[in-house]
Structure 1
Amino acid sequence: MDAKRIIKKVAVLGSGVMGSRIACHFANIGLQVLLLDIVPENAPSDDQKTRNKIVNDALAFALKSNPSPIYLKSFARRIITGNFDDDMPKIAECDWVIEVVVERLDIKQKVFGKVEKYRKPGTLITSNTSGIPIHLMTEGRSEDFKNHFCGTHFFNPPRYLKLLEIIPTRDTLSGVVDFLMEYGEKYLGKTTVLAKDTPAFIGNRIGVFSIMSVLHYVDKTGMTVEEVDKLTGPVIGHPKSATFRTNDVVGLDTMVHVANGLSKNVPDDEAKELFRIPDFVNGMLHNNWLGSKTGQGFYKKEKVNGINQFYALDLKTLEYKPSQKVKFASLETTKTVDSLKDRLKILFAAKDKAGDFYRATFYQLFAYSSNRIPEISNEFYKIDAAMNAGFGWEMGPFEKWDALGVDNTLKEMETAGYKPARWVYDMIASGAKSFYKTENGTRWYYDIPTKSYKVIPGTENFILLDNIRTTNTIWKNSGSTIIDIGDGILNLEFHTKMNTIGSEVIEGINRAITLAETSYKGLVISNEGTNFSAGANVGLIFMMAVEQEFDELNMVVKTFQHTMMRIRYSSVPVVVAPHQMALGGGCEMCMHADKVVAHAELYMGLVEFGVGLIPGGGGTKEFALRLSDELQEGDIELNNFRERFLTIGQAKVSTSAYEAFELGYLKKGRDVVVVSPNRLLAEAKQHCLMMAEEGYVQPIPRTDIRVLGKQALGLGYVGANTMYSGNYISEHDVKISQKLAYILSGGDLSQPSLVSEEYLLGLEREAFVSLCAERKTLERIQSILTGGKVLRN
């Protein structure tokens, strides 16, 4: 990346749904942002508030939206608003100008005319368009403008969807393209994909084709909305929203707009007929049933007698009927199959309606994707990357094809009437067995022009466990694996259901620490699951509590606590690298590490209160310890106590890693945040190695934790009773709150005292086990286990 180019300030032109959210994401990574939009008609020249009304209202709306586009509310202060008429000269101070105005070429060109008037030479200028040819936008612009101009297509919402397509023109300097590719990945946390200036680029070209293929198949076979969503969700590594719920969220009009654009602009596409809109979709458009934005689409929700009722659209009659649960025999057989590759083989071989659906729609997709090379991209791996990052697929078309076996699948495709591109036949003839292969921890792709394998560019700085697990595993059990990630550092990953922490994970942690202390420099705990960890195995706790095996339960809790303390007091550094959900025990694991290297999208919290318990793996003890380290004389002591008490008592979960600092789960000055998910493990390893090489010293167990005793205990009791009197919490909540207050205050001590961690762990363990004997706690646990719902009894 161009070391001389530094991005300090970004201008975003256009504050609509995309513009305001792109501005928020640049603010997320610490940049100052200038967000501009048009002046309202007839706005007085001397009334700045009125002149900025459009941009200010748009930003305010974005900041109130859920999920939030901003990591932390205070980050919004990094965004300065203004308007095109008064504030366009300020773009001279910006290093990157991003245009996000309405999708009309004439308006974009008019905006670029103003931009050229004020931007300083060398400033990056990009357009976030999803449909207008990039090269048309620079007509009439200067050479410097053209050299530094590029398309940057963010997917909505920009904070959460990882795809960023980079679309250069023939005039774009190669250094500008390289900079944007690396900056997008490293700093914005995106999967950056280099795309050609073709209709809908890569992601929407393949993604909309896939959707339209399904719509036409449904139109032909009469499959129901519920059936298709059952088949196109997590079972094949796609998002829970599957096909039709995704359409409702995105908006039917948006999908149709892209499909119509493709139908007009790809006259030589062999499958252009599939971009024709089916009659039932036209009927929905006529009725304005566009999805979430109009309150109904393929699904709708209504309240009946105060209860939410869900309806699905009958595509034949265009009438809504109560949503039905559907089952397929083939899907039932895959319930115990964890590997997506193995599931796909079973599903595609199935002889039922599900198997027919998969073979028809995906064979068609495989053929279509192969035929888009080199039209939309010279390399097929970019198609997979775009689908995975933009549409949330776990495996792209060529990865799925690989999983099924390239040669055998090709023969079945031909039999079914789907013919892929010539280069696929040439690949097989060359002796290549797959589109991808992994060697020496690196993933390679088949390069079509040279008929050889090459390393996927840009992945050299990543450590991906999927690439090294086979060759670098040194120990494993049913729930965890220890992998040598080089330079004397081990990695422990766990792979239980939802990465819950049970006996096999506890064994893995202890074994990993023992191995690291014996023969290595340090340990990283990370994994590549959907979530880092959903916490302790609540089902095991429930079974032991129901059987009243309280001595055994006490031992299980003590073992968990001891394992967390081993993380804290090992003789080598232990770094934890969480991502997405890190709840309960997963949060406690992070709190006991020497350092946490967290992905920015981190939803962390001590949530045990929701199942009628208190954090029992050292989390409550750790809050008491951190409270002690923060304490000052005077009223501030009780203020801090109240904040810690409420954080656990309200089961607060961070909406980002930055909020985890605010809630006290992460520690300022110790823990760090990484925006790029692919760099998380490499960064964690680097920090672990740095601590080891700087002379890591094993910590000494704490015996100097200052607790407040009765004065804090009284505050906790009064607070709980006040909440109960106001009908905010139940009687059982009061009991849990009192036990929580008892631990945080160090017990019923007559005055502030110094206590040890072991003392607090004993209080924590006793409270946890005693709550497991409560019927109402068991009811709460059962509600979570059977229905996934928090019960407030």
Structure 2
Amino acid sequence: MSQKLLVRRVAVLGAGVMGAQIAAHFVNAGIDVVLFDLPAKEGDPNGIVRKAIANLGKLSPAPFGRKSFADAIVAANYNTGLDELKSCDLVIEAIAERMDWKQDLYKKIAPFVPAHAVLASNTSGLGIDSLSDVLPEELRHRFCGVHFFNPPRYMHLAELIPSKHTEQWVMDALESFLTTYMGKGVVIARDTPNFIGNRIGVFSILAAMHHTGAFGLPFDVVDGLTGPLLGRPKSATYRTADVVGLDTMAHVIKTMGDTLPDDPWHKYFKAPVWLSALVEKGALGQKTGAGIYRKVGKDIFVLDLAKQDYAAGSAGADAEVIEILKGKDPVKKLGDLRSSANPQAQFVWATFRDLFHYAAYHLKSIADTARDVDLALRWGYGWRMGPFETWQASGWQQVAQWIEEDIAAGKAMSDAPLPDWVKSREGVYSTEGSYSPTRDAMVPRSDLPVYKRQRFPDPVLGEKFDRGETVWENDGVRLWRDAGEDIAVLSFKTKMHTVSDQVLDGIQEAIKIAERDFKGMVIWQDSEPFSAGADLAGALGLLKEGKHAQFEAMVSNFQRASQAIKYSLVPVVSAVRGLALGGGCEFQMHSAKTVAHLESYIGLVEAGVGLLPAGGGLKEFATRASEAAGANGDVFEELKKIFETVAMAKVSTSAYEAQDLGLMRKSDRVVLNAYELLYVAKEEAAAMAEAGYRPPLPARNIRVAGNVGIATFKMMLVNMLEGRFISPYDNEIAERIATILCGGEVDRNSIVDEEWLIRLEHEHFCELSKQQKTQDRIEHMLKTGKPLRN
């Protein structure tokens, strides 16, 4: 049986931007963390670390899932705090990328690292073997590289790199820990400069830079070609460089030049002249306000090399090239790019060709399988498909032949031959797994037990996972099960998992089936979002046609669906990731439990479209406020924060913030790995069933804030209206929300039941829906995706 890594406490060495953010993400995972840096020259010896922790609060996107998590990090320094290491189970070193500094630090800390603890370096490219040379023998086998991508909370990729001394149990235990507790997608890399993600990713950027010059294209045109049209992030090539920092980009390129002297592409591993010039001038990108792009007011200007100055952007990518790139057939797409005379099409073909060539040539030395490379680029760089997936989808042998022709014609960036294995295969993916040049075999996915928690892992090309057995379905939902399991899963079939009549009917029917045939049910979607809320287009159609009776029937059906979830005789667990807005938020509120991925953005946003929550959300808040206040507490106090959240249509920036805003319960679970969400939700449902689950008793004694509460909320709104923070129509919607939350125009501390609150929701929702301003808001949202403040 392999050794286990039991992590109670973690030390992070180095409170720079990366080290501090890694520490923050350990706290997101509920892990006690101590953050080290040099002692301050004066005042508090831990001053450097305290300042770094304070700076985390200013970063965007936020490193913490909850602002108060900053208080949980313990500050320490290398002079007086090394005893803190003795209570740590995992030590992550994240200081500057200098071999001598890192090795000096290892010598200093080695006597304090416990005999069971694992030590890992968060280096982005230094040799792991070389780093381990200075470690004492007994620590060497518990040392490896772990490379988090920036920002660590949001980037899924973590590369694990063994040294020649690392014991296998260390690698397996760390991979399992990073996967479940840190929410990472782990890729095992070989000990080569820049590992996998940056080795291929930075080469891809260098190839784009080289061909930008060769084809004489403007920077913004290249960004138009190399972003979403290629299934890559909107920041594409040059905006990404500006965001990362041009000084950082130049440093990474120099590192490749210094550490890869024998690479056949070595002559390209130097910063272009224009890039060095920008760095010298201090135009480092986003952090200095100017780089390749410069923002002036609302206008964005781009560097024009011919003018040696910033100029207005060009017309963007050519229509004919956009047309090719939007094509659905990848084989035709790559062929059309190669045969086109358009320089933009030639540019895209050339960057693909050289990326494929480079990745194939180096695969054996940097990774075990092609899958490792593709997942590293997808998880670390945000690509929809990795290089080998793209190549195989585009026709493996044909593309290989074209690459060889271009090498022979001197068009490719290097004359290095394609490896022999490329020509002997039809691709690197098959039902057996992914190709490993080292083993000359197709290798299946890892069989580590942690991956049994991933029912649907992130699929690579051609991978299909059994979708379970359909129990029942209609046009809106599918109820399914895995063979032999007694927890059913309900998934929506609508676009963005919006809530239509078929979804509402489907939920109610599925619950009846679950009550009869299963021990519990999980509401889970096979992709984000959980639910973008009500089907606004359908609702607007009914209103415009004057079908108010049908519209009101839909609202009643919504409320019945929510109540069916709440009072189901078997536990209904909502597995939330991504957006859970409006009705999506209300469904998880009515569930017996919510299991939410950390990156869940939850909110009741109806006010933005001129409506108010009417799927039982406001009823639920009034009920919870009454329960929290107890027999003698102040119900109004419990409602204040909720009122602001709903009236201002606030959306949480994490699952933890959803708990703080009252949109999730404190007892709900937060999960860090999205691919484990279904597993955890099923386990929760099964545990509740085994414990003899019963739904809550009908809420018949809800104490409400009444007319005094409504009047107080109205007074608060007057100030916002006079300060022009809200429009008169926002004010009307907010007053109606206040009326429902407070139980209507009844005496303070009156007792009402759920049916009373549900009727109030229904009445005010339907009155708002008939108003032109609401219909204008809905229409504007559908057209622009943005709220109208009329």
With normalisation by structure 1, the TM-score equals 0.90
* Superposition deviation, residue 322 in structure 1: 2.7
Aligned pair in 2 of structure 1 residues 372, 602: CA closer, same or farther (>3 Å)?
same
Instruction: Give the aligned partner of residue 322 of structure 1.
Output: 312
Is residue 310 of structure 2 the alignment partner of residue 348 of structure 1? no
Aligned pair in 2 of structure 1 residues 324, 640: CA closer, same or farther (>3 Å)?
farther
Instruction: Give the aligned partner of residue 389 of structure 1.
Output: 379
Aligned pair in 2 of structure 1 residues 10, 131: CA closer, same or farther (>3 Å)?
same
Q: 1:363 is aligned with what amino acid?
A: R
* Superposition deviation, residue 640 in structure 1: 0.7
Instruction: Give the aligned partner of residue 37 of structure 1.
Output: 37
- Conservation of the 8 A alpha-carbon contact between 2:531 and 2:584: yes
Q: 1:28 is aligned with what amino acid?
A: N
Instruction: Give the aligned partner of residue 454 of structure 2.
Output: 462
Aligned pair in 2 of structure 1 residues 549, 336: CA closer, same or farther (>3 Å)?
farther
- Conservation of the 8 A alpha-carbon contact between 1:154 and 1:163: yes
- Conservation of the 8 A alpha-carbon contact between 1:427 and 1:451: no
- Conservation of the 8 A alpha-carbon contact between 1:366 and 1:420: no
Post-superposition Cα deviations, 1:667-726, rounded to whole Å, max 9, x if no partner, equal 123x21111122111111222233344444455543333323212222222222232233
Post-superposition Cα deviations, 1:54-81, rounded to whole Å, max 9, x if no partner, equal 2211111112222211111222222111
Instruction: Give the aligned partner of residue 527 of structure 1.
Output: 525
Task: Indicate which of 609, 612, 618 corresponds to 1:611.
Answer: 609
Instruction: Give the aligned partner of residue 628 of structure 1.
Output: 626
- Conservation of the 8 A alpha-carbon contact between 1:473 and 1:483: yes
Instruction: Give the aligned partner of residue 286 of structure 2.
Output: 292
Task: Indicate which of 655, 660, 663 corresponds to 2:661.
Answer: 663
Q: Which moved more, 1:552-561 or 1:575-584?
A: 552-561
Q: Secondary structure at the match of 1:11?
A: strand
* Superposition deviation, residue 464 in structure 1: 0.6
* Superposition deviation, residue 476 in structure 1: 5.8
Instruction: Give the aligned partner of residue 651 of structure 1.
Output: 649
- Conservation of the 8 A alpha-carbon contact between 1:631 and 1:637: yes
Q: 2:14 is aligned with what amino acid?
A: G
Q: Secondary structure at the match of 1:281?
A: helix
Instruction: Give the aligned partner of residue 716 of structure 2.
Output: 719
Paired with 2:46 and 2:695, the residues of 1 have a C-alpha distance of 57
Task: Indicate which of 737, 741, 744 corresponds to 2:741.
Answer: 744
Q: Secondary structure at the match of 2:74?
A: strand
Q: Which moved more, 1:139-148 or 1:492-501?
A: 492-501
Q: Secondary structure at the match of 2:160?
A: strand
* Superposition deviation, residue 518 in structure 1: 4.9
Paired with 2:481 and 2:321, the residues of 1 have a C-alpha distance of 36
Aligned pair in 2 of structure 1 residues 562, 149: CA closer, same or farther (>3 Å)?
same
Q: Which moved more, 1:6-15 or 1:768-777?
A: 768-777
- Conservation of the 8 A alpha-carbon contact between 1:577 and 1:598: yes
Instruction: Give the aligned partner of residue 445 of structure 1.
Output: 434
Q: Secondary structure at the match of 1:791?
A: coil
Is residue 132 of structure 2 the alignment partner of residue 138 of structure 1? yes
Instruction: Give the aligned partner of residue 762 of structure 1.
Output: 759
Q: Which moved more, 1:118-127 or 1:156-165?
A: 118-127
Q: Secondary structure at the match of 1:378?
A: coil
Q: Secondary structure at the match of 1:427?
A: coil
Instruction: Give the aligned partner of residue 355 of structure 2.
Output: 365
Instruction: Give the aligned partner of residue 260 of structure 2.
Output: 266
Q: Secondary structure at the match of 2:488?
A: strand
Paired with 1:491 and 1:555, the residues of 2 have a C-alpha distance of 27
Task: Indicate which of 768, 773, 778 corresponds to 1:776.
Answer: 773
Aligned pair in 2 of structure 1 residues 452, 103: CA closer, same or farther (>3 Å)?
closer
Instruction: Give the aligned partner of residue 441 of structure 1.
Output: none
Paired with 1:335 and 1:262, the residues of 2 have a C-alpha distance of 31
Residues 509-524 of structure 1 mapped to structure 2, 5 A cutoff: 509-510=507-508, 512-524=510-522
With normalisation by structure 2, the TM-score equals 0.90
Paired with 1:237 and 1:503, the residues of 2 have a C-alpha distance of 33
Is residue 392 of structure 2 the alignment partner of residue 398 of structure 1? no
- Conservation of the 8 A alpha-carbon contact between 1:38 and 1:84: yes
The total of aligned residue pairs comes to: 769
Residues 92-111 of structure 1 mapped to structure 2, 5 A cutoff: 92-111=86-105
Paired with 1:398 and 1:496, the residues of 2 have a C-alpha distance of 32
Aligned pair in 2 of structure 1 residues 609, 385: CA closer, same or farther (>3 Å)?
same
Post-superposition Cα deviations, 1:487-524, rounded to whole Å, max 9, x if no partner, equal 13333333544433334544553454354345444332
Q: 2:70 is aligned with what amino acid?
A: A
Paired with 1:349 and 1:569, the residues of 2 have a C-alpha distance of 58
Q: Which moved more, 1:410-419 or 1:611-620?
A: 410-419
Q: 1:716 is aligned with what amino acid?
A: F
Post-superposition Cα deviations, 1:619-678, rounded to whole Å, max 9, x if no partner, equal 222212222221234563211121221121122222221121111111123x21111122
Q: 2:18 is aligned with what amino acid?
A: M
- Conservation of the 8 A alpha-carbon contact between 1:236 and 1:344: no
* Superposition deviation, residue 159 in structure 1: 1.0
Paired with 1:471 and 1:405, the residues of 2 have a C-alpha distance of 31
Residues 423-502 of structure 1 mapped to structure 2, 5 A cutoff: 423-428=421-426, 435-437=429-431, 444-448=433-437, 449=439, 451-458=441-448, 459-464=451-456, 467-468=464-465, 472-473=469-470, 480-486=477-483, 487-494=485-492, 496-502=494-500
Q: Secondary structure at the match of 2:431?
A: strand
* Superposition deviation, residue 189 in structure 1: 0.8
Q: 2:434 is aligned with what amino acid?
A: Y
Paired with 2:206 and 2:732, the residues of 1 have a C-alpha distance of 55
- Conservation of the 8 A alpha-carbon contact between 1:127 and 1:151: yes
Gaps of at least 5 residues in structure 2 are none
Q: Secondary structure at the match of 1:468?
A: coil
Aligned pair in 2 of structure 1 residues 347, 182: CA closer, same or farther (>3 Å)?
same
* Superposition deviation, residue 478 in structure 1: 6.3
Task: Indicate which of 666, 683, 686 corresponds to 2:680.
Answer: 683
Task: Indicate which of 114, 125, 146 corresponds to 2:108.
Answer: 114
Paired with 1:386 and 1:502, the residues of 2 have a C-alpha distance of 38
Aligned pair in 2 of structure 1 residues 694, 404: CA closer, same or farther (>3 Å)?
farther
RMSD: 2.8
Paired with 1:409 and 1:478, the residues of 2 have a C-alpha distance of 41
Residues 181-330 of structure 1 mapped to structure 2, 5 A cutoff: 181-303=175-297, 308-323=298-313, 326=316, 328-329=318-319
Paired with 1:520 and 1:638, the residues of 2 have a C-alpha distance of 40
Q: Which moved more, 1:103-112 or 1:480-489?
A: 480-489
Aligned pair in 2 of structure 1 residues 12, 453: CA closer, same or farther (>3 Å)?
closer
* Superposition deviation, residue 447 in structure 1: 4.5
Q: 1:101 is aligned with what amino acid?
A: I
Instruction: Give the aligned partner of residue 535 of structure 2.
Output: 537
Gaps of at least 5 residues in structure 1 are 439-443
Aligned pair in 2 of structure 1 residues 16, 495: CA closer, same or farther (>3 Å)?
farther
Post-superposition Cα deviations, 1:272-310, rounded to whole Å, max 9, x if no partner, equal 33433333333433433321111122222111xxxx112
Q: Which moved more, 1:57-66 or 1:15-24?
A: 57-66
Paired with 1:509 and 1:349, the residues of 2 have a C-alpha distance of 47
